[in-house]
Structure 1
Amino acid sequence: MVIFHDIQLKPKQKVSVTMLVIGLVCLTIFITATILLILSFHFKKQSLIDTALSLNSSNSKKMSLSMDRLFTSMRESLKYSVEILHNYPDMTSQEAYGKLELLRKSSHFFNSIAIVKETGQIHAASPASLSGLEGTVVASEVAKETLRLKAPYLSKPYLTPTTKRMIVSMSEPIFDKQGTYLGYIVGTIYLQEPNVISQVFGSTSIDENGSYYYVVSSEGHLLYHPDIKRVGENVIENPVVNELTQGHSGKRQVVNSRGIVQLAGYSIVPSTGWGIVVVSPGQAVDNLLHQFIQGILVYFVPAILLLLIIAIWLSRRLAQPFVALARLISHYEQGQSRDAEVSSYWNREADLLAKTIGRFLKHIEEHTDQLSREAMIDPLTGLVNRRGMEKIMNQWMLETEEYTLLIMDIDRFKTINDTYGHPTGDVMLNHLARLLQRNVLDEDVCCRYGGEEFVVLLKRTPLSEAYATSERIRCAFETDENPIGRTCTLSIGLAHYPTQTNEPAELLSFADQALYEAKRNGRNQSVVYNEDKKLLDNQQMLL
């Protein structure tokens, strides 16, 4: 607890903050009331969100279990059909059609059922609208995969080549008594037409606040959605769908692929790997929160208005010097008004603070330029460091300045450190730094990127000229006398801005890839990064 003591004012003495305590107490009441209102809002909101998420999660689990039982029944139906039709080669197409029609109508699981021979030809198909397909060879990739697997198969959604329907197929292989593969029986679900999913779940009422559900495949395609036009759409970017495709069930607040906030509960259907998502619009929670807040504000508004008037008056009085000081510091930070005098203020504490700030500003001004310079320079070589390099690259990007980036390092530098010691290695780095400065123009920038890696930024230099400069640097380093008295070499990677990329970070990455290519090709060479991921022939760059 902070205890304020009255201070006896002397002539010309600054006003104490103590005089404002009474007003601040009133302001505290306002803050307390505001905090209570905010906490009530957040607790209520979280309660509504948790309730909606739990309800949707529970509904999704129930629906996934129901769908799991449904698809298990569908699979059993196909197995039963195989037992009936295992001798289908002895049946005429009309006889097989009759049995398929009976099976389809007795279960209502599939929109169509067909028998496909091991050769890929359709032996019989139901309903009658597909009767003209007998003898035709199925051409879809799904059909070919089913024939190849010779095992139970549930396809992903696909568009049929003949009827142009978006469907999902479930198949079961047919073997004779000797185990010879005879083909398969396949049942299809027409996703964009009335089907078993919409019949079983389509009329399910989740609640009355706009909630609904949808079904997705294991690859993220919509298999069922209230908006029939969206069936077949890939919604893998939806975080909930992405979770389902990885085999996870759960609940979460999410922004869907169309930017709408939703409260989603989602569960995996074990037998198919599909997912069921039950969602409620976030707007429904917002509407309930608005009603809650409106009820509270009826009681709070009169008191808040009164306290607000008091708070504004007190805040202006109390904050005026501090605002001025903050503005002064802000302008000073931006390089403005560095010579401005710090004013004297009526508030004693503010006046003391202002004088202290004045002294510190002078001290900061003395060190700011020095620190800025040191922050941009590598202490070992005196070249621009990585931070300074990135700043220059960004500045040239803003100025749309063409430049070529060279990244290089000393081949087998670790051997130098191991053989001669790290102090000698540092001398070699300084030797390379001086060599770089001698071989570039004044407007070019030489940088130490880190370790034995250096970067040169060649301003207004196309790749052909940059390559010549790179080779000059490489040859000079190889032939010039150096501190260790034996030949050392450089590997160099080049990339050009903006012809190869508009992003400085990507440009550096391209040059780095070219550097690694130079290393892989035997070191002691310059390599230019190519936009098509192929390295240009170095001889062509000399032409």
Structure 2
Amino acid sequence: MPVLQRKKKQGNKISLVTLLTGLVSISVALTVTILLISSYQSKKQALINTTLTLNHTSAIKMSHTIDSLIKSMRSSLDYSANLFSNPMSAEEGYSKLELIRHTNNYFNSITVVDETGLVRYVSPASIGTAGKYITTETAKEALAVKKPYISKPYLTVNTKRLIVLISEPIFDKDGIYRGVIAGTIYLHENNILNTIFGSNPTDELDSSFYIVGSDGHLLFHRDTRRIGEDISENQAVRKLIQGKSGYEQMVNLRGETVLSAYVKVPENGWGVVVVSPINVVYEQLNRHLASILLYMLAPFLLLMLVVIWLARRVARPFVSLADLVSKAGREEVQLSEGKQHWNREAELLTRAISYALTDMKKQTDQLAHDARTDPLTGLTNRRTFEATMQQWVEEQASFSVILMDLDRFKSINDNYGHQSGDEVLKHFAQIVSASLRSGDVCCRFGGEEFVALVSHASAEEAYQVAERIRHTLEVSTNPIGQTITVSQGIAHYPSHTDSAEDLLHLADVALYDAKRSGRNRTEIAKG
């Protein structure tokens, strides 16, 4: 073979130095990538949980503050009611109201109304209602109930202010009803809520908060223009109206993902919502990853320098041997898996690299499997479920969603222990898996909640599948030896909705209807 052609072929080969350096670089890069992905996911969940917990703690504290405030306001009005149980002059009544208003600073105005609806005294006098009869339905209702009363936000007739009214009944010494004493909070002006919460206690958490009434209207917000706005459609506010307290990731009315904590005020039915934008978590994650990369940069560069130096030392005898073999007219030996090398060290090195790559692949496969699978039940997790549902929606394939929730699962954990509860979850997962076809998807959605995607099935067909699951669970021999039941909600795409998110919501509503109707039943979404 001509020398020029032989040199040209040799030039197409990868040098041992480049090969070793490249392999080490790939190994390090893959390892770093896996570590970064794992760190990102674990740190993300930790930050979300921490933010939710901190928001919930703040909401609880503010709820307790409001609860104590309302109790104090009611106590002040109740004490003041005793002062006005007997008739007095207008001047004396006005003086007492002025003293009460300026002493506690709870209310923007205080009014005494007799049992006929006539305003006897009012402070401040500039309101101008003294000597007139009340006209608003809210004031009339407060007078009519003859017991402590807190109103929803409403507009006054004279001043056109948005206010909340708190009243206490007045009885004379003989127990005869003599009217009410009412204090008002001007929501759009300086008031007791501004005084206490004007300096946002959640600023250090990059969070914000607001206070809502029992009907979902804003009572306090840093943006005063929004006070009085009806936000009852907000997910957190809906839960407050239902009497629930808690924290979770939600989507607000502007379509933004937020971390919300919501707590009910026991005394008056108001609610406190503390929210943090999800972007706060991602900003912290980015800073976390940047710091990791920064700390790893110097060791990585040092490692690469050492690898290049060692590669040159290791390659030196191989280069000499290659020149010798070339002069003898033999083919150049290539370092590749499965090929026997003439050099024992080269063979051992090839095997070591092969083992390293195999082990790395196993780790990567295991991480990928763990990312798709629920470790307790062996079912797919929520991520796989959402990806599958989104794919089917994009393909416009007909399918149904069955949302399943084990009835009274908390009592199972409380009475039999969490280990038995885990066995129940695995038992139910086996029943669901056995009841579905190979093309269907079932996953553990969280806690005792499971969800199934039944492909090419109408709502009625899915109902038959769900009833089979429900009946099988009810009559099956289970780990606790007691009857276990499940409630289920069904929604169909696209007859119920063409949105994946709405589809899951409709199934959840149907599940709620099943729970509310007595549990151990299956409901199909309406509409």
Partners of 1:113 and 1:60 in 2: how far apart? 29
Structure 1-normalised TM-score? Answer: 0.49
Give 1:173 shift. Answer: 0.9
Partners of 2:51 and 2:495 in 1: how far apart? 46
Matched, 1:172 2:168: yes
Matching residue's letter, 1:101? E
Q: Map of 1:332-343 to 2, 5 A cutoff?
A: none
The secondary structure found in structure 2 opposite 1:184 is strand
Q: What is residue 109 of structure 2 aligned with on the other side?
A: 112
Encode CA deviations 1:399-431: one digit per residue, 9 max, x unaligned.
xxxxxxxxxxxxxxxxxxxxxxxxxxxxxxxxx
Partners of 1:79 and 1:209 in 2: how far apart? 38
Alignment CA distance shift 1:24-1:140 (3 Å): farther
Matched, 1:201 2:197: yes
Q: What is residue 184 of structure 2 aligned with on the other side?
A: 188
Partners of 1:234 and 1:240 in 2: how far apart? 13
Encode CA deviations 1:66-89: one digit per residue, 9 max, x unaligned.
2111111100000000111111xx
Q: What is residue 241 of structure 1 aligned with on the other side?
A: 237
Give 1:283 shift. Answer: 2.1
Partners of 1:240 and 1:149 in 2: how far apart? 31
Q: Given that residues 86 and 176 in structure 1 are in contact (C-alpha distance below 8 angstroms), is that contact kept between their aligned partners in structure 2?
A: yes
Matching residue's letter, 2:105? H
Q: Map of 1:293-304 to 2, 5 A cutoff?
A: 293-298=289-294
Partners of 2:248 and 2:120 in 1: how far apart? 48
Q: Map of 1:356-395 to 2, 5 A cutoff?
A: none
Give 1:56 shift. Answer: 1.4
Q: What is residue 284 of structure 1 aligned with on the other side?
A: 280
Encode CA deviations 1:109-132: one digit per residue, 9 max, x unaligned.
1000001122222111101212x2
Matched, 1:97 2:94: yes
Give 1:300 shift. Answer: 7.4
Give 1:148 shift. Answer: 2.1
Q: What is residue 128 of structure 1 aligned with on the other side?
A: 125
Partners of 2:256 and 2:133 in 1: how far apart? 45
Give 1:504 shift. Answer: 8.3
Q: Given that residues 236 and 262 in structure 2 are in contact (C-alpha distance below 8 angstroms), is that contact kept between their aligned partners in structure 1?
A: yes
Q: Given that residues 209 and 284 in structure 1 are in contact (C-alpha distance below 8 angstroms), is that contact kept between their aligned partners in structure 2?
A: no
Give 1:93 shift. Answer: 2.1
Partners of 1:175 and 1:205 in 2: how far apart? 41
Partners of 1:291 and 1:61 in 2: how far apart? 30
Matching residue's letter, 1:200? I
Matched, 1:160 2:156: yes
The secondary structure found in structure 2 opposite 1:133 is coil
Q: Given that residues 60 and 267 in structure 1 are in contact (C-alpha distance below 8 angstroms), is that contact kept between their aligned partners in structure 2?
A: yes
Q: What is residue 62 of structure 1 aligned with on the other side?
A: 61
Give 1:280 shift. Answer: 2.3
Q: Given that residues 82 and 171 in structure 2 are in contact (C-alpha distance below 8 angstroms), is that contact kept between their aligned partners in structure 1?
A: no
Q: Map of 1:259-274 to 2, 5 A cutoff?
A: 259-274=255-270
How high is the sequence identity, in percent, across the aligned residues? 48
Q: Given that residues 211 and 281 in structure 1 are in contact (C-alpha distance below 8 angstroms), is that contact kept between their aligned partners in structure 2?
A: yes
Q: What is residue 487 of structure 2 aligned with on the other side?
A: none
Question: Which structure would you say has the larger Rg?
Answer: 1
Encode CA deviations 1:273-330: one digit per residue, 9 max, x unaligned.
11112222322222111111223345779989x9xxxxxxxxxxxxxxxxxxxxxxxx
Partners of 2:225 and 2:89 in 1: how far apart? 39
Alignment CA distance shift 1:256-1:84 (3 Å): same
Q: What is residue 223 of structure 1 aligned with on the other side?
A: 219
Q: CA RMSD in A?
A: 3.2
Q: What is residue 84 of structure 2 aligned with on the other side?
A: 85
Matching residue's letter, 1:271? E
Q: Given that residues 93 and 134 in structure 1 are in contact (C-alpha distance below 8 angstroms), is that contact kept between their aligned partners in structure 2?
A: no
The secondary structure found in structure 2 opposite 1:271 is coil
Q: What is residue 383 of structure 2 aligned with on the other side?
A: none
Encode CA deviations 1:43-86: one digit per residue, 9 max, x unaligned.
11111111111111111111211211111110000000011111
Alignment CA distance shift 1:257-1:123 (3 Å): same
User: How many aligned positions are there?
Assistant: 292
Encode CA deviations 1:449-502: one digit per residue, 9 max, x unaligned.
x9xxxxxxxxxxxxxxxxxxxxxxxxxxxxxxxxxxxxxxxxxxxxxxxxxxxx
Alignment CA distance shift 1:24-1:158 (3 Å): farther
Give 1:228 shift. Answer: 0.6
The secondary structure found in structure 2 opposite 1:170 is strand
Matched, 1:38 2:37: yes
Q: Given that residues 123 and 134 in structure 1 are in contact (C-alpha distance below 8 angstroms), is that contact kept between their aligned partners in structure 2?
A: yes
Give 1:24 shift. Answer: 11
Partners of 1:69 and 1:205 in 2: how far apart? 17
Q: Given that residues 109 and 184 in structure 2 are in contact (C-alpha distance below 8 angstroms), is that contact kept between their aligned partners in structure 1?
A: yes
Structure 1, unaligned stretches of length 5 or more? 1-21, 307-389, 392-449, 451-502, 507-543
Q: Map of 1:423-438 to 2, 5 A cutoff?
A: none
Q: Map of 1:462-501 to 2, 5 A cutoff?
A: none
Partners of 2:187 and 2:206 in 1: how far apart? 23
The counterpart of 1:250, out of the listed 246, 250, 259, is 246
Partners of 1:25 and 1:140 in 2: how far apart? 80
Partners of 2:44 and 2:25 in 1: how far apart? 29
Structure 2-normalised TM-score? Answer: 0.51
Q: Given that residues 215 and 224 in structure 1 are in contact (C-alpha distance below 8 angstroms), is that contact kept between their aligned partners in structure 2?
A: yes
Q: Given that residues 153 and 170 in structure 1 are in contact (C-alpha distance below 8 angstroms), is that contact kept between their aligned partners in structure 2?
A: yes
Partners of 1:149 and 1:100 in 2: how far apart? 23
Encode CA deviations 1:93-119: one digit per residue, 9 max, x unaligned.
222111111111111010000011222
